[in-house]
């Protein structure tokens, strides 16, 4: 996968892209990630990238030229059309499902505004997706795009050591993850559930499924789709409701 990020603050990405899994993913060549300053593409003699809004009003608006030109330069004519993602609080809210969808693409281009608004022609004629990471306003799209890059790259083949570890994640399965324990079995009198020490894999799997459903019931009941529950899960749900 190739990821290009258009931003006025490429330095913001240095720490995030050069540590941990994102660093390893690039070393393994599962992905190439580059942050580009779209000011470099400005044709304005002062390298301006924004201007006053037509009709007046507060704030500045990012002009279309540097962003359209940067995207043109980063898109090779041979490739499948890239996903061009505008980071903004008005976009669709990011989810694990969207991360999985983006992980199937060959090329992602992120556009990050900072304080300014975007000229509407960028929205209408350039981007394929507008994404928000939640109902709050950040100073810019940079942090939001890092969240998305992180969640997409960890889904690429061979990026996580244990191929299955993300399959079990909260949200991939549709339910929140079951509790986990490690040694010691007794820490200051707080003990690990007996079943996990039993070595009985069938019982352990059953315990995990039940705890996963319980946690989802307690914390995110909106994620439970009653129509797809097994008879056993329905029985468990009744137990939780009566507790
Ligand atoms: N830019 C500013 N706030 C944002 C948000 N919540 N998500 C994505 N981009 C943003």
Q: Dump pLDDT digits (tens) for 87-138.
A: 999 999 999 999 999 999 999 999 999 888 999 999 999 999 999 999 999 9
Is the predicted pLDDT of residue 227 greater than 90, yes or no?
no
SS3 218: helix
Dihedral angle sign, alpha carbons of residues 91, 95, 99, 105: negative
Check the annotation: does 135 bind a ligand.
yes
Mean pLDDT of all residues in 47-51: 97
Residue 215 has pLDDT above 60, yes or no: yes
Give the integer Cα–Cα distance in Å for 125 and 213. Answer: 43
How do residues 136-187 score in pLDDT, each as one tens digit? Answer: 999 999 999 999 999 999 999 999 976 556 666 777 778 999 999 999 999 9
| Beta strand residue intervals within 128-173, DSSP E | 129-132
User: What's the confidence (pLDDT) of residue 163?
Assistant: 55
CA distances 62 to 67, 97, 101, 145, Å, are 9, 30, 28, 18
Residue with tokens 């009744």: 238
Contact 5, 34 (CB under 8 A): yes
Q: How far apart are CA 34 and CA 26, in angstroms?
A: 10
Q: Which residue in this structure is represented by tokens 């468990």?
A: 236
What's the CA-to-centroid distance between 42 and ligand 1, angstroms?
24
**What residues are in contact with ligand 1 under a 6 Å CB criterion?**
87-89, 132-134, 136-138, 140-141, 144
pLDDT for position 226: 86
Residue from 133, 139, 148 to probe ligand 1 pocket by mutation (most atoms less than 8 Å from CB): 133
Give the distance (Å) from ligand 1 centre to CA of residue 140.
6
pLDDT tens for 7-32 read 999 999 999 999 999 999 999 999 99
The pairing of beta strand 107-112 with beta strand 2-7: parallel
Q: What is the pLDDT of residue 167?
A: 64
The structure's pTM equals 0.93
The answer to whether 41 is a known ligand-binding residue is no
> Which residue's alpha carbon is nearest to atom 7 within ligand 1?
132
Q: Which residues contact 55 (CB under 8 A, 6 or more apart)?
A: none
Q: How many angstroms does the Cα of residue 149 sit away from the middle of ligand 1?
A: 14
**Residues annotated catalytic, as ranges:** 89, 116, 154, 169
Is 136 flagged in the annotation as binding? yes
Grouping H, G, I as helix, E, B as strand and the rest as coil, residue 32 is strand
The closest-lying atom of ligand 1 relative to the alpha carbon of residue 131 is 8
**Domains with residue ranges and CATH for the chain:** 2-153 (3.40.1280.10), 173-242 (1.10.1270.20)
Summarize the confidence of residues 55-84 as an average pLDDT.
94
């Amino acid at each position: 996968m190739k990821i290009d990020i258009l931003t006025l603050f490429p330095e913001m990405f240095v720490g995030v892209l050069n540590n941990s899994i994102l660093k390893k993913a690039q070393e393994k060549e599962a992905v190439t990630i580059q942050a580009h300053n779209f000011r470099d593409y400005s044709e304005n003699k002062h390298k301006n990238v924004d201007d006053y809004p037509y009709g007046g009003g507060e704030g500045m608006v990012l002009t279309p030229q540097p962003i359209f030109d940067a995207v043109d330069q980063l898109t090779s004519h041979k490739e499948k059309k890239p996903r061009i993602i505008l980071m903004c609080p008005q976009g669709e809210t990011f989810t694990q499902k969207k991360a999985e969808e983006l992980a199937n693409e060959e090329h992602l281009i992120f556009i990050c505004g900072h304080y300014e608004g975007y000229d509407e022609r960028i929205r209408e004629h350039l981007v394929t997706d507008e994404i928000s990471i939640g109902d709050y306003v950040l100073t810019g799209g940079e942090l939001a795009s890092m969240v998305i890059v992180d969640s997409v790259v960890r889904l690429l083949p061979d990026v996580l050591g244990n191929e299955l570890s993300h399959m079990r994640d909260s949200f991939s399965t549709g339910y929140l993850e079951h509790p986990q324990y490690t040694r010691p079995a007794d820490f200051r009198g707080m003990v690990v559930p007996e079943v996990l020490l039993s070595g009985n894999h069938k019982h352990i799997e059953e315990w995990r499924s039940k705890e996963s459903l319980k946690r989802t019931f307690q914390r995110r009941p909106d994620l439970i789709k009653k129509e797809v529950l097994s008879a056993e899960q329905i029985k468990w749900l009744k137990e939780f409701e009566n507790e």
